[in-house]
Structure 1
């Protein structure tokens, strides 16, 4: 289905692949949906969140630009939603109003014949990528956040090999010792309310275009840098890291299956 005047194809590759998140949480009902691959783009968890809780969120990067990009990383696959321009402005607003993401145009390829027919391969699509706030080395996402991607991909019937790739991605392991739990509690007691305040300031400054004010964007980015400086230079050396990088540096083995991973981290 060709995007008519006033509509566009928006590619969701992260939590917005979940219908519960996109339609239920965001309140956006798409006109049509197609599965899409973005050639020469890869999934990246480089958007920093809150250490010890939600360390990372997804973005996409051009292939070859990530320092730790493995040779077997596939092109990103997601859902293309046909939505109105007003709905897309709502997407931008709900994703922070420009504090962490920027709107870009990309070329996508339909996965199956029915998707290709809808998208008319080679047409321009819209999506969001990181802007102004990235983290290297990239943190690991929480089990809660990663579950949205895994469940959304399964619900959308994305290619099995891509679903398996998502399931293999490492997730953040919450503190397991009393000392690290104490540090995490203190950190979140300090910065959790600040994050909530920033969200209110940001949403209160959203304009008709879906973007927050320049001041709100600046304030969020500066505060996020301060949050991570506090983590890197104070809490991490004393209490242990809250971004999942310790597990990777020490080659902590990931559970073989997604079910095992969920059982382990949920304490089932």
Structure 2
């Protein structure tokens, strides 16, 4: 039987290369810091992307971001062309996408993308920003997984992570942007060196919908998004359990704020709000955070700052600097796994919590609410 949402063979194998990881990492941290100190701005809702523009997207093909030149962008601008870009994660937040990044979308529409799923497997910085949002391919035929057999059902099973409990594909927003703005998005998402542009089938979601359909019935259109390409020649920090790390409360708030601003379906917003965040619960973790940040953050900022004057017109850093950044980033995680975690405690997941976010033993009672847990963490530190 044919799949209702075929996954293109042109999609690259998903493996994040180090320069991409570090650029996105520092970019995310800059976004968080600027958002914290910047006055809150109210952004008006954009008009819905026209059906005519959505239909025209069906013939569009992926763009080779490594060969995109300023003359290509200028020519596209002169012809009045636009790009439909799929935003997810922190890019759902207006303060991030339209404020910090300075993107000026022309229109927008909320969508469901059955062939992609939201993940939180992009490593960040232990104790501070453990992980960031990412995307992965999804096969609608095998997600959700088949129910367990009668024999398996009788055996006790540990609940999965909250972030992995969504099985309806990626929910996001497609923005219509100018070619110049799309080139800026490419540069800020990794400089084009570690990402490929792909097109995915997007299904419009009804306005003010409460639930997300398991099988969408609206007419699909194509949108561009950036997907991590294979890079096996450079080191990369790979976590043993990609779903283990929890996002920081500050980072997750970017996503939940964006989902509210865009009025994404209530069911999806509830899923996002149920994701557990990383909380420091002991004094030794707090001490470890201070030492870790004092050791590694200046190095990352120095190297990333060095890359700014060395970027080319497409925002790419020299290959040697990308390799160096990758080694430093890998060394940072090696020092955490080999020393900091054992001495100072967990810097990726709230210590002492199972998959439900409940204390397995010690200060928190079983079933403690999230707010009470955070209050207990404040008391401890």
Structures share fold, TM-score greater than 0.5: yes
Aligned-pair CA distance for 1:230: 0.7
CA distance in 2, matches of 1:145, 1:27: 19
In structure 2, the partner of 1:117 is none
Aligned-pair CA distance for 1:241: 1.6
In structure 1, the partner of 2:136 is 61
In structure 2, the partner of 1:164 is 270
Q: What is the TM-score when the length of structure 2 is the normalising length?
A: 0.60
Q: Would the aligned equivalents of 1:96 and 1:202 in 2 still touch at CA under 8 Å?
A: no
Aligned-pair CA distance for 1:262: 9.8
Residues 23 and 110 of structure 1, relative CA distance in 2, 3 Å threshold: same
SS in 2 for 1:108: strand
In structure 1, the partner of 2:348 is 243
SS in 2 for 1:11: strand
Q: Would the aligned equivalents of 1:55 and 1:140 in 2 still touch at CA under 8 Å?
A: yes
Aligned-pair CA distance for 1:37: 1.0
Which ranges in structure 2 are unaligned for 5 or more consecutive residues?
1-49, 58-78, 144-159, 209-217, 359-366
Q: What is the TM-score when the length of structure 1 is the normalising length?
A: 0.83
User: Do structure 1's residue 123 and structure 2's residue 123 form an aligned pair?
Assistant: no
Which ranges in structure 1 are unaligned for 5 or more consecutive residues?
115-119
Q: Deviations over 1:23-55 (max 9, x none)?
A: 111111101111011113111011111111111
Q: Deviations over 1:131-153 (max 9, x none)?
A: 55554423211111100000000
Give 1 or 2: higher strand fraction.
1
Higher Rg? 2
Residues 71 and 146 of structure 1, relative CA distance in 2, 3 Å threshold: closer
Aligned-pair CA distance for 1:99: 6.8
Q: Would the aligned equivalents of 2:115 and 2:200 in 1 still touch at CA under 8 Å?
A: no
Q: Would the aligned equivalents of 1:154 and 1:163 in 2 still touch at CA under 8 Å?
A: yes
What's the C-alpha RMSD, in Å, of the aligned pairs? Answer: 3.3
What is the aligned residue count?
261
Q: Would the aligned equivalents of 1:47 and 1:130 in 2 still touch at CA under 8 Å?
A: no
User: Do structure 1's residue 43 and structure 2's residue 118 form an aligned pair?
Assistant: yes
CA distance in 2, matches of 1:241, 1:101: 31
CA distance in 2, matches of 1:96, 1:72: 27
CA distance in 2, matches of 1:22, 1:266: 32
In structure 1, the partner of 2:82 is 7
